[in-house]
Amino acid sequence: MSEHNKDIDQPTGVETTGHEWDGIKELNNPLPRWWLYIWYATIAFSIGYMVVMPAIPALPGMGTNTRGLAGQSDRIAVAEQVESLRTQRSASGAALLTASLEEIETDRELQQFAMASGESAFGDNCATCHGAGGRGAKGYPTLADDAWLWSGTLEGIQYTLQHGIRHEEDPETRFSLMPAFGRDRLLERQEIDDVVNHVLSLSGREVDEAASSRGAEIFAAQCASCHGADGAGDRTFGAPNLTDDIWVFGSEYRDVYNSVYNARNAHMPAWGERLDEATIKSLAVYVHSLGGGE
Amino acid sequence: MSRVTLITPKSPPPAPPPQDLYAKRKQIYPKLAHGKFRTVKWVAMAGMLGIYYLVPWLRWDRGTGVPDQAVLADFGGERFFFFGIEIWPQEAYYLAGLMILAALGLFLVTSLFGRVWCGYACPQTVWTDLYIWVERAFEGDRAARMRLDAKPMSFNKAWRKVGKHAVWLFIAFVTGGAFILYFHDAQMIAQTFFIGEAPLSAYWFAAILTFTTYALAGTMREQVCTYLCPWPRIQAALTDEHALNVTYRYDRGEPRGPHRKGESWDGRGDCIDCKQCVQVCPMGIDIRDGAQLECIHCALCIDACDEMMKKVDRPTGLIAYDTDVAVARRAAGMPTQYRLIRARTVLYAALMVAIAALMAWGLLNRGTFEVNVLKDRSPPYVRLSEGDIRNGYTLKLVNKSGEAREMSLEANGIDGLELEVIGLEATEAGRMLLPVAAHGVDRYRIFVTVPKETADGRDHFTLLLQDTATGELHGNRTSFMAPGD
């Protein structure tokens, strides 16, 4: 605004910016000078900051941003924090190595540490198949129930974790093979139907009595060696109990028929190859706590 | 009531000099006032500073294992202690309620009496007042200070300046130091602070508050109120023409002018233009210009003016707590009216009473025991080998009392339901007895199993907890999930 055309607000004596909205005029109060000085100070600070901290990106010839005199790097800082956490935990981790699984479970401090690290390792490695909290899925056993194929003790769970199931690269893996009775032509379709009827009758299902009694003979000849004469299973072979209500691969007729025809022989990796011993122990303690531990 | 036009007493300003983009700060030398309001302010200052510095040292016995400090914000222990009241993090709504009460209190007081908060109670005002008192002790009152500042540096000037800043810094440090006493055990932190063993945060906050106290109360003063604080802007929306503000009664004062002893008062106002009101003003303004953003309503100009009015033998109260409407009505020759009971004051007061009552009711009726049942989300249920269905829960027992308790637990509501608490054996009588520590939260894992015959879809059952000593009963109805619809 030109010098002679200044609009002065009457009550305050302050000139206006000339802007007016609905009769309200904007006063052009002078800024306190110390605000200006603070602004200068922030500029000075920002220059210092650019020198000390990583700042200017992609200068020609640099290929990357300027590093700054302080050598600050979030990536390195995170790595250092992770490392220091690992050092902090190594004391408890070392205690896990020397203590027996029973000692870990009864010592409150060790148990809490094992549960925390076990839960996190479970989420990273196991929950993909076994589900959060070991809820299980079709083909993947529920770890929270009271039925176990191989073993539900602390040591047994640790062994399974360490060596896996049917993990052929590990000589000590838990191993057994059920024949594919249908696919390999060991039994005729009619015979399989009879066996399935018998197997379903073991858990109290209503079945065709005639077929079931024919199936009982076949069961005694072909299945009882592993699943037991009464069908209660045998953990030596990881042979499931056929008389209870737990069916990893489904309890319907066609599910069981499919199991007899094709065999299942599921696989679990040997985690000893991938995880350290302390983590395996923590996992054993965690899985044992889910509700089925023996 | 007829509308009254409010007149601004100021005469049209002379042609202004070319305006600078930036305003240089004008040094203010507030003169010491004597009178009613100055006395009130001294007393209020002593009371508030006393509360601030002494409260952390008060003790309050709460039993063993719990801090015995009367007022303590214990972040480590996640508790807020206020005498007999113990607030847990999940009860932070009491603190929110206090804030709402404080806000409404400000609204109410502002709509009744203007900026009482700014003038008497704001820490900025209280500490600035204290700092000015120190300044006066070293450099003298207004006139002496102005003379001293105009003089070249000398030994006399130097020691007064150095002494003043040293005392300011000491007060600032004591202020910052007292702040951290509210967050740690006062006796403990007062010892560890000086041997370098206090937590880093204690030093950090003490340093920040030392700096801010020194800077805001010592050097920035009125700049804080005028340029940093949002409250002067907000209060413009809360005060109105009926609020009792510190007001120059222009109806009585104008036309102003010097008055010589013995001259007649006819045809002129009572204001003798002695500028005492301007000289005592810590904000460096002239109250006779009317209500202004800068005015913190400290009422020191009332004291200054009353003193002068007595000297010239006129009635006091030329500057007084008055309303814009009353002044305007008198100026127009109408009788004065005061309306302290208005829609907004009634609303604020009613809201305050309602919220205070709600909080008091909540505090008086809050239980010292809480049961939280968290149902496992994965797995939602587990089928056991016999076909029975089991659900897992985490039971959180919150004991806010100072006594350890033993709670007996039972569950019922579904036929054949069985209850198992992990790590706890039932007594011979078949009771589950759960110990709960004093002032603490105990967690228990529980399994509830329902036979397959009665488990069907979503069902509910009740967990009953009974204090074995007092018989106090707590029930928690919770859901049970099973396959089915």
Here the contacts of B84-89 (C-beta below 8 Å, separation 24 or greater) are: B84/B60, B85/B363, B86/B62, B86/B400, B88/B398, B88/B400
pLDDT tens for each residue of A77-111: 999 999 998 888 778 788 888 888 888 888 888 88
Give the tens place of pLDDT for each residue, B202-213.
Answer: 999 999 999 999
A13–B16 CB contact, under 8 Å: yes
| CA pair distance B319, B270, nearest whole angstrom | 11
Taking contacts as CB-CB distances below 8 angstroms, the residues of chain A near B10 are 11
Which pLDDT does position B463 carry in this prediction? 93
Residue A10 touches chain B, beta carbons under 8 Å: yes
Would you state the pLDDT for residue B77?
Answer: 85
Q: What is the DSSP letter of A47?
A: H
pLDDT of residue A2: 44
* B400 falls within a domain: yes
Query: What is the reported pLDDT for A149?
Result: 94
CA distance A28 to A31: 9
Q: pLDDT category, B390, cuts 50, 70, 90?
A: very high
**Residue A110: per-residue pLDDT:** 87
Decide if B83 is inside a domain: no
Question: Is 90 exceeded by the pLDDT of residue B44?
Answer: yes
| Residue B474 belongs to domain spanning | 369-481
Q: Do A136 and B379 touch (CB under 8 A)?
A: yes
Mean pLDDT of A176-200: 95
Of the pLDDT bands very low, low, confident and very high (cuts 50, 70, 90), residue B10 is low
B224, B226, B383: best to mutate for the A interface, most A CBs within 10 A? B383
Check pLDDT > 80 for residue B2: no
Residue ranges and CATH numbers for the domains of chain A are 75-117 (no CATH), 154-289 (1.10.760.10)
pLDDT at B426 over 90: no
Closest partner CB to A13 (pick from B13, B379, B385): B13
For B328-362, write each residue's pLDDT tens digit.
Answer: 999 998 888 888 899 999 999 999 999 999 999 98
Could you tell me if the ipTM is greater than 0.90? no
For residue A190, pLDDT over 80 is answered with yes
**B8: confidence class by pLDDT, cuts 50, 70, 90:** low
Q: Is the Cβ pair A35, B227 closer than 8 Å?
A: yes
pLDDT at B1: 41
Instruction: State the DSSP code for B56.
Output: G
Where residue A270 falls among pLDDT bands split at 50, 70, 90? Answer: very high
Question: Touching check for A3 and chain B: CB below 8 Å?
Answer: yes
Residue B375 lies in a domain: yes
How many domains, chain B? 1
Contact residues on chain B for A8, CB-CB shorter than 8 A: 13, 16
Tell me how far apart the alpha carbons of residues A128 and A220 are, in angstroms, rounded to a whole number: 37
End-to-end CA distance of chain B: 71
Instruction: Give the minimum alpha-carbon distance from B129 to chain A in angstroms, rounded to a whole number.
Output: 23
Q: For residue B14, what is the nearest residue in chain A, using CA coordinates?
A: A13
- For residue A8, pLDDT over 70 is answered with yes
Q: Do A147 and B385 touch (CB under 8 A)?
A: yes
For chain B, the average pLDDT equals 90
Say if B57 falls within a structural domain.
Answer: no
User: Does A35 lie at the interface with B, CB-CB under 8 angstroms?
Assistant: yes
Answer whether residue B137 shows pLDDT above 80.
yes
Domain membership flag for residue B92: no
Neighbours of B81 (CB within 10 A): 20
Look at residue B320 and tell me whether its pLDDT is greater than 70: yes
CATH number at residue B380: 2.60.40.10
- Is the pLDDT confidence value at B229 over 90? yes
In a domain, B448, yes or no: yes
Query: Which residue in B36, B206, B37, B224 sits closest to B127, CA to CA?
Result: B224
Query: Using a CB-CB distance cutoff of 8 angstroms, which residues of chain B are in contact with residue A36?
Result: 22
Q: What residues have CB less than 8 Å from A136, skipping those under 6 apart? A: A130, A142, A143, A144, A145, A248, B379
pLDDT for B427 equals: 84
Question: Does residue B275 have a pLDDT over 70?
Answer: yes
Q: Please, are residues A261 and A121 in contact by the beta-carbon 8 Å criterion?
A: no
Using a CB cutoff of 8 Å and minimum separation of 24, what contacts does B307-314 make?
A: B307/B33, B307/B34, B307/B35, B307/B276, B308/B272, B308/B274, B308/B276, B309/B270, B312/B259, B312/B261, B312/B272, B314/B265, B314/B270
**Residue B157 contacts by C-beta under 8 Å, 6 or more apart in sequence?**
B148, B151
Residue among A32, A133, A246 whose CB faces B23 most closely: A32
Give the rounded distance of the alpha carbon of B387 from its chain centre: 61
Residue pair B25/A33 in contact (Cβ under 8 Å)? The answer is yes
Query: Would you call A231 helix, strand, or coil by DSSP?
Result: coil
Asked, for residue B278, whether it belongs to a domain, the answer is no
Q: Looking at residue B261, what is its pLDDT?
A: 84
Which candidate, B222, B236, B219, B349, places its Cα nearest to that of B298?
A: B222
Give residue for tokens 């024949």. A179
What is the pTM for the complete model shown? 0.76
pLDDT band at B4 (very low <50, low <70, confident <90, very high): low
pLDDT confidence bin for B105, thresholds 50/70/90: very high
Q: Tell me, yes or no, if A131 comes closer than 8 A to chain B by beta carbon.
A: yes
Q: Mean per-residue pLDDT for B278-300?
A: 92
User: How many whole angstroms separate alpha carbon A266 and alpha carbon A278?
Assistant: 26
Residue B406 confidence class, pLDDT cut points 50, 70, 90: very high
> Is B411 inside a domain boundary?
yes
Instruction: Give A1's pLDDT tier (boundaries 50, 70, 90).
Output: very low
Question: In terms of Cα–Cα distance, which of B366, B169, B123, B345 is closest to B240?
Answer: B345
User: A with B: how many residue pairs have Cβ under 8 Å apart?
Assistant: 84
Q: What is the mean pLDDT of chain A?
A: 90
Whether residues B10 and A136 touch (CB distance < 8 A) is answered with no
Query: Quick one: pLDDT at residue B304?
Result: 95
